[in-house]
Amino acid sequence: MTPVQSSLTLKPSKHQKSKQAANGIENNIIHGVESLIRAMLKKHRTPFMLIKRSVLEKQYKRFRKCLPQVAPYYAIKANPDQGVIKTFINLGASFDVASGAEMKYVLSLGASPSKIIFANTIKSPEDIVFARRRKVRLMTFDNEPELYKLSKDYPGAHVLVRIKVANSGSVVELSLKFGADAEHAFFLLRKAKALGMVPMGVSFHVGSQATNVENYLQALEISAGIFNEAKESGLPLKILDIGGGFPIQHFDNEVGINFERMAGQIRQQLKTLFDNNVKFIAEPGRFLVGPAGILVTQVMGRTFRNNKNYYYLNDGIYADFSGMVFDHCRYEFKTLRRGQKFLSTLAGPTCDSFDTLSSNEEIPELYVGDVVYVKNIGAYSCASAVANFNGFPPAKIVMV
């Protein structure tokens, strides 16, 4: 074989080059994450939750770029850490709250009342009064009795009727508990006006971790029909709230998650179906904060059970892995230790056997003190953790 032939034979294809570049980027990301974890281990005891401010900013700008006509109202239930909220305040975000306590909290951190939506369709009289006193005017409802409460405690409130829409393919269905039938929406808006409220528009939610863009497109068509009916009846509407549910990747190589493509279809539908004077808002939570979180735990005990290595971590289902129950979420477990992988079980530290995280993880053999970490866990994890069950505290949140 001549030297020329040899060099041609060894030249990588475009596909190989692309794959090598992707692997290189992935390895650099892994190295960066693990270097950060090692540095933080010198400063903090585990478990701790790292929240990367740069990722919060990246996700917020990504949302604004992909849906430029939609104002994001961060759903603080996803992660109410004050560092997270202050970051979004500085970025100019608005906020979705579900109670008077959440409202008071974001206001105390500097959020403007005009940038808050009280997006719980069922509100206590006390919380309605609190909203009135703090001049938080925009809120949702989905039933007639709620309007009578508002007419008594907050005449003049600006209201959006929340409608029930399809949640097919979403990990968490939200139309089981909330939403008026679409055919009743205009009647409810007209009733709101008669009782002294200001009917502003329509709200919907297609469910959490929604990967089926058809749910959004169908909901937009239904909402446009309500807008047209209201306009023809002399009750023009001004705001459409498209809710949250925008999906993220929880695993590095997860397929079927493409926010950019989904946003492009939503963007086109908004342009096609609605007048230019309609204001669009959304309630992203997981999308903005989920990718920013890295949970760092350590092995506190090990044994051999059921022909498998069995590891007990110092965080579990009752703390920052609570999203596995309340959010129906699955996470990708990673280790700092390298080596041959074995089928293993990971469990939390409590005395409850329910506190088992996974019984089929392929990981290297671990020892007491070894680190197990999870990325993309910034949403609905620490937010739904139980404080000190069995005496084990949730992870400390560290902004980096």
| CB-CB neighbours of 68 under 10 Å | 11
| Nearest CA among 390, 275, 383 for reference residue 321 | 383
How would you label 19-42 residue by residue, b for 16+ Cβ within 10 Å and e otherwise?
Answer: eeeeeeeeeeeeeebeeebeebee
Q: Which two tokens stand for residue 216?
A: 């959004």
Q: Could you tell me if 130 and 98 are in contact, meaning their C-beta atoms sit under 8 angstroms apart?
A: no
- DSSP codes, 192-255: HHHTT-EEEEEE----EEE--HHHHHHHHHHHHHHHHHHHHTT----EEE--------SSTT--
**What is the rounded CA–CA span in Å between residue 162 and residue 190?**
14
| CB-CB neighbours of 47 under 10 Å | 25
| Nearest CA among 312, 318, 301, 297 for reference residue 374 | 297
Question: Which position among 66, 329, 351, 382 bears the catalytic label?
Answer: 351
Q: Could you tell me if 310 and 302 are in contact, meaning their C-beta atoms sit under 8 angstroms apart?
A: yes
382 is catalytic: no
Cross-strand bridge partners of residue 372: 297, 335
Q: Which two tokens stand for residue 126?
A: 């006390």
The residue assigned the tokens 């979004």 is 88
172: buried, middle or exposed (CB in 10 Å: 19+, 13-18, 0-12)?
Answer: middle
**What is the rounded CA–CA span in Å between residue 277 and residue 329?**
38
Q: Could you tell me if 370 and 298 are in contact, meaning their C-beta atoms sit under 8 angstroms apart?
A: yes
**What is the rounded CA–CA span in Å between residue 357 and residue 126?**
39
Q: Which amino acid is at 232?
A: E
Supply the residues annotated as catalytic: 351
